[in-house]
A and B are shown apart, each in its own frame.
Chain A
Amino acid sequence: MSDCGGHTACACESHSGEPVICFKGVSFSYGHSLVVEDADFDIYKGESVCIVGPNGGGKSTLLKLMLGLLQPDVGTVHLLGDTPKRSRARVGYVPQHIDFDPLFPVSVLDVVLMGRLTRRSFGFCSRKDTERAMEALQQMGLAGKAQVSFAALSGGQRQAVLIARALVADAEVLLLDEPTAHVDVAAEERLMASLKALRKDLTLVTVSHDLAFVSRSVPKVVCVNRCVHVHPTTELTEARLRELYGFEVRMVQHDHEHLDSHGGHHHG
């Protein structure tokens, strides 16, 4: 019997139209280890949603299920009204990190241009693609680094390049896995500004450990610790966080809502 209580999500707002991302009774396990249990939630067009939860709780797994990189054991996942495999080319994805070879000599521009790639990309890329990639780099404040080796950048700059790569895909949905994991405060502020500018056009789904980032960035939170619960950020109470993380989490109210955590768990 599921200890998620069967119904794992709440409808936070009423929405019209088809959801952009739809999970229906999804369970997934790595071998015998159940990682996501009976997840049942929708994300609608233009929404900005953050996925939070402890390490190993299933946050990144949820993103990979959305992208069709993993197949659910039970249930169905729909992305943009179709299967993830058919629709994922319309999604911009920023991984938490990439296992790239630092001796692999690709320039920043080369990496961003990978966002323009399709199954039918043959020969050299077009001038339009290069212009689009330069625009995205400009947007991320990295236009001057276009010809620099990707390996020569700092962690935060690499993250910004991967976001630019996701942006040039002309995506309808942007999935970001830990976008502030390797960035300093200044870079995080720039990223926040860029995400705020993007929010007008895009559906944004962000995985984050950073509760401060969540509290001031998004109105809706998907809490994952094997079970999945969806709340408006304003309803993210100390009790709910204690239930999610398994230790005390103190909320501190500033000008904007801000969450502070104890018990060794990091925050912004």
Chain B
Amino acid sequence: MGDFFKALLDPDMAFLRYALFLGLIGSVPLGAVGTFVVARRISYLAAAIAHSVLGGIGGALYCREALGWGWVHPMLGASIVALLAAGLIGWVSLRARQREDAVIGAIWVTGMAVGLLFIARTPGYIDPMAYLFGDILLVTAADLWIAGGVGVLILGVLGVWHRQIVAVCFDAEYALIRGVRSDWVYVLLLMLTALTVVILVSLVGIVLVIALLTLPPAIAALGAKSLWRMLFVAILLNIVFVFFGLGLSFALDLPTGPSVILVAALVYLVANGFARILKV
């Protein structure tokens, strides 16, 4: 790990610092929103949203490279498609329950197919694997500012609406009786999930980001007596996983995304083993 700390301070290794900072910035909204995703058991909806994001990334790259719209950032395309997918999935899961799985699956694969087609038509070589599984070389200083801004927005919305979100996650029918617009609050949670997923797409990729959204809260839930404790432990775990995953990736010359996720998965397995032994 000594070399990793030295590299972080090396002026020529800015990409490593950007990756670490992006991971740390993303850890906070990921842990916070992930807590509600796990508590509400909507991880599969979050996975569908994350995968559909490739459509937005591919579209943004095409607009930038083929149409010359230099101002279109891939994260902008990803955010727009993620929000659209969240709205559509929310509407489907609330209004068309019989076909929910099929429609969510369709949104999942359609987003990926559209993204791959756009990437195929974009001039120059773009490796889709970099967006699917992450590439720290994709992280720029601009990404940090965008991620910071989006993160503050997510935490702000969560801070204002958290009582309504908790009530809807726990007992949506009672929240409705109390005057809370349960359907809107549910869609709001999906929208927050969509934006959260986008933050870390460049670091760990759209396939692996779901692990950082769900594994830390799932570990935190093993011993949590309150939602707030679960939330803070999930954030802390995300920070630890990003730091050690990045360090492992640097030390063993491994891809960063899978390294971070493997650290998280290993801790998840060990924590579950301990929980079983201690009967938490």
A95-B173, A95-B174, A122-B161 as given contacts; A107 in contact with B179, CB under 8 Å:
no
Q: Is B99 an interface residue (CB 8 A)?
A: no
A88, B177: Cβ atoms closer than 8 Å: yes
A117, B180: Cβ atoms closer than 8 Å: yes
Q: Is A101 an interface residue (CB 8 A)?
A: yes
Q: Is A104 an interface residue (CB 8 A)?
A: yes
Q: Is A115 an interface residue (CB 8 A)?
A: yes
Of B163, B179, B221, the residue contacting A125 (CB under 8 A) is: B163
B170, A100: Cβ atoms closer than 8 Å: yes
Q: Is A111 an interface residue (CB 8 A)?
A: yes
Residue-wise interface mask of A (67-110) relative to B, using a CB-CB cutoff of 8 A (1 in contact, 0 not) = 10100000000000000000011010101001011011111001
B159, A123: Cβ atoms closer than 8 Å: yes
Q: Is B121 an interface residue (CB 8 A)?
A: no
Q: Is B160 an interface residue (CB 8 A)?
A: yes
Interface size bracket, B side: 20 to 34
Q: Is A35 an interface residue (CB 8 A)?
A: no
When chains A and B are docked, how far (Å) is the Cα of A113 from the Cα of B164? 11
B225, A98: Cβ atoms closer than 8 Å: no
Residues of A within 8 A of B95 (CB): none
B221, A117: Cβ atoms closer than 8 Å: no
A103-B221, A123-B160 as given contacts; A169 in contact with B166, CB under 8 Å:
no
Q: Is B103 an interface residue (CB 8 A)?
A: no
B177, A93: Cβ atoms closer than 8 Å: yes
**B52-107 with Cβ < 8 A to chain A:** none
B222: shortest Cβ distance to chain A, in Å?
9
Of B39, B163, B181, B225, the residue contacting A149 (CB under 8 A) is: B225
User: Chain B contact residues: over half helix, strand or loop, or mixed?
Assistant: helix
When chains A and B are docked, how far (Å) is the Cα of A118 from the Cα of B161? 12
Of B161, B171, B229, the residue contacting A98 (CB under 8 A) is: B171
- Residue from the set B174, B177, B221 with the largest chain A CB neighbour count within 10 Å: B177
Q: Is B8 an interface residue (CB 8 A)?
A: no
Q: Is A119 an interface residue (CB 8 A)?
A: yes
When chains A and B are docked, how far (Å) is the Cα of A258 from the Cα of B219? 52
Q: Is A121 an interface residue (CB 8 A)?
A: yes
A89-B179, A105-B221, A107-B226 as given contacts; A121 in contact with B174, CB under 8 Å:
no
Q: Is A114 an interface residue (CB 8 A)?
A: yes
Residue-wise interface mask of B (6-41) relative to A, using a CB-CB cutoff of 8 A (1 in contact, 0 not) = 000000000000000000000000000000000101
**B139-163 with Cβ < 8 A to chain A:** 159-161, 163
B213: shortest Cβ distance to chain A, in Å?
17
B67: shortest Cβ distance to chain A, in Å?
42
A106, B226: Cβ atoms closer than 8 Å: yes
A119, B170: Cβ atoms closer than 8 Å: no
Q: Is B203 an interface residue (CB 8 A)?
A: no
Residue in chain A with minimal CB distance to B218? A103
**B177-215 with Cβ < 8 A to chain A:** 177-181
Of B164, B173, B178, B181, the residue contacting A89 (CB under 8 A) is: B178
A67, B221: Cβ atoms closer than 8 Å: no
Q: Is B176 an interface residue (CB 8 A)?
A: yes
Residues of B within 8 A of A149 (CB): 225-226
